[in-house]
Amino acid sequence: MRGLFVGRFQPFHRGHLELARAVRAGPRSPELLIAIGSAEQAYTWENPFTAGERFEMIARALAEAGLDGVRVVPVPDISRHALWVRYLEGLLPPFDLVYSHNPLTQLLFERAGYRVRTPPLVRRARYEGVQIRARLARGADVSALVPPAVAAYLEEIEGAERLRRLGPPRSPGRPRRGR
């Protein structure tokens, strides 16, 4: 039995790790596939870290937590929602259930016949990636929000500095990139 957990993990935070732990500790202890979505994106405010960096931070956090039975797979976006589930089925080994908070993900997998589980909302607002990115960008501490291994890795790759330079999105009408 195998579960699928799709996210962008910008960055991988404690809420993500708690979900992985809960799945592995649950009944029948399914193997877990963590699919890193928008894998082709990086160096934007929404997606500051490359898929490879996100892969590394997840691998370190899982190792630190002693969690095994978890596979990490970067998944580039496909622009067509109607094909998305079929696309994932083609890229990933077979899976049986899907974990997601996201209404669109839930809708698409349900229509394809999958069982979708909504993980308990572990202080979701607090752990939202956008909040963590905003804290990083203004130099605030995030050690309560991400696993220690991720905090260390973010220092290693100077993640806060990257976010500070990418900056938050400006108001509409003002393009973010001068290119």
> Interface with its own copies by CB under 8 A: which residues?
6-8, 37-44, 46, 50-52, 55-56, 59, 71-74, 76, 79-83, 86-87, 89-94, 100-108, 130, 162, 165-169, 171-179
Least CB distance to its own copies at residue 22 (A): 18
How far is residue 174's CA from residue 177's CA, in Å, rounded to a whole number? 9
Query: Across the chain, how many H-helices and E-strands are there?
Result: 8, 5
How far is residue 95's CA from residue 167's CA, in Å, rounded to a whole number? 38
Least CB distance to its own copies at residue 47 (A): 9
Q: With respect to its own copies, which residue has the nearer C-beta, 97 or 102? A: 102
Q: With respect to its own copies, which residue has the nearer C-beta, 100 or 154? A: 100
Q: With respect to its own copies, which residue has the nearer C-beta, 16 or 146? A: 16
How far is residue 135's CA from residue 138's CA, in Å, rounded to a whole number? 5
Q: With respect to its own copies, which residue has the nearer C-beta, 32 or 38? A: 38
Q: With respect to its own copies, which residue has the nearer C-beta, 108 or 132? A: 108
Least CB distance to its own copies at residue 144 (A): 22
Q: Are 49 and 11 in contact (CB under 8 A)?
A: yes
How far is residue 129's CA from residue 106's CA, in Å, rounded to a whole number? 19
Q: Where are the beta strands (DSSP E) in the chain?
A: 2-7, 31-36, 70-74, 97-99, 115-117
Least CB distance to its own copies at residue 142 (A): 19
Least CB distance to its own copies at residue 168 (A): 7
